[in-house]
Amino acid sequence: PRTRKEDELMGEASEQLTEKAKEAGKEQLGKTQDVAKKAAGAIAQGSSSATQSSSSSQPKGERSSGMPGSTPGAVSGPMPKR
């Protein structure tokens, strides 16, 4: 909470700084949301096209990981911790 003394000493400068911080936060949030939407779209598009192409190009008995660029039959799993 602001105090009377703070308002006397800082007043307008404090309000301007607070407003600038709010705007910067909103701008960053917007950028982050845009990046997340693009990434989600790329993932959805990649998994959709990988599913379509793997069902027609895979020899019988082999399974695809569904990941673009993956090697059929390769073992996949979590990355080892460092």
Token representation of residue 37: 């939407």
Q: What stretches of the chain show up as alpha helix (H) in DSSP?
A: 4-9, 11-57
Interatomic CA distance for residues 60 and 28, integer angstroms: 48
pLDDT (tens, 9 = 90+) of the chain, 82 residues, equals 778 888 888 888 888 999 999 999 999 999 999 999 999 999 998 887 776 666 555 555 555 555 555 555 555 556 666 6
Task: Please state the pTM of the whole predicted model.
Answer: 0.47
Cα separation, 52 vs 46, in Å, equals 10
Helix, coil or strand: residue 5: helix
